[in-house]
Amino acid sequence: MTDLFITQPEVNNLPLSTMHGVVIPSRDNLDLVSYLSLPLVSDPNQDGKPEQASPLVLLVHGGPWARDEFGFNSLAQWLTNRGYSVLQVNFRASTGFGKTFLNAGNKEWAGAMHNDLIDAKEWAVAQGITTDDQVAIMGGSYGGYATLTGLTFTPEAFACGVDIVGPSNLVTLLDSIPPYWESFRQQFYESVGNPTTEEGLALLKARSPITHVDKIVKPLLIGQGANDPRVKQAESDQIVDAMKSRDIPVTYVLYPDEGHGFNKPENNLSFFAVAEAFLGSCLGGRIEPIGDDFSDSSIEIIHGGEFIPGLDEHMATLGNN
């Protein structure tokens, strides 16, 4: 192929990692189209065949009716730069792979959809990309739910988790569907579970991470926007409260001026500075000092700052608590 032009010349000469497309078989023989990015230190040839294992972040997309795509990904580049491999999996219910694949996720939140992620983790271990005890799970929205599911349904599978605006209780999630999603309600009922039926309500409760909160044994970081109309602040509040009541460590970061995700650059930078320190303490990757990464951010550490090295001390220098 002949290059026509470069869309981001400012990053063209930086030492970026290469994204590799891989197809991972699920335990029931579905093809999971996935993307693997490796740190330069473990894969100097950037051919997708690492010379040594490295800690891995399983980066789970939101939706779940969306998909990961091949191409430049800022989170993947940040994580590989810090020494982590990154695996992005199009688990069942991801869009773009046909109706059969999409509908294979119906009623499978924390079921077969989670099994796909576990199968992908085990594939990465078998390939020598990482080791069984050095895998973190991270994601936003449904990816946040997948993180909470990973730490509750499979408490020993991941070394730690980063949940960004993820629902913890499927019953309260469906109870709080915003008005602009009202026409979408029946699809939620079909895909996740119908709370108006006895069977559906039981399924939603069984597949909610908060139901199994006492099983959490690994470090957890939660980020939430106070104005989130889709996954309301109560979703994060209630699982943090449940963990606090059981003396289970958790770090909770809140942004009073954010919604479903962190859109202000200052807030985005501050959260990922916290996430970097969190992952570094968990997986041992490189950590850049926070420095002025909190400047002009609305970040509030609601609980558990002491569980991330240096976080409380840095907040104290800003006059925050």
**Residues designated as active site:** 141, 228, 260
Structure tokens at 180: 């602009």
The residues with which 222 forms a beta bridge, in sequence order, are 163, 252
Instruction: Identify whether the C-beta of residue 148 lies closer than 8 Å to the C-beta of residue 140.
Output: no
DSSP conformational letter for 95: S
Structure tokens at 151: 């730490």
- Amino acid identity, residue 295? S
Q: Where are the beta strands (DSSP E) in the chain?
A: 19-25, 31-37, 56-60, 85-89, 135-140, 160-164, 220-225, 251-255, 300-303
Q: What is the full DSSP assignment across 195-212?
A: TTSHHHHHHHHHT-GGGG
The residues with which 36 forms a beta bridge, in sequence order, are 20, 87
Report the distance separating Cα 134 and Cα 53, nearest Å.
Answer: 10
Beta strands across the sheet bearing 19-25: 19-25, 31-37, 85-89, 56-60, 135-140, 160-164, 220-225, 251-255, 300-303
What is the total residue count of the chain? Answer: 321
End-to-end, the C-alpha distance of the chain in Å comes to: 54
The residues with which 253 forms a beta bridge, in sequence order, are 223, 301
Instruction: Identify whether the C-beta of residue 145 lies closer than 8 Å to the C-beta of residue 130.
Output: no
- Residues ≥6 apart with Cβ < 8 Å to 48: 18, 20, 22, 36, 38
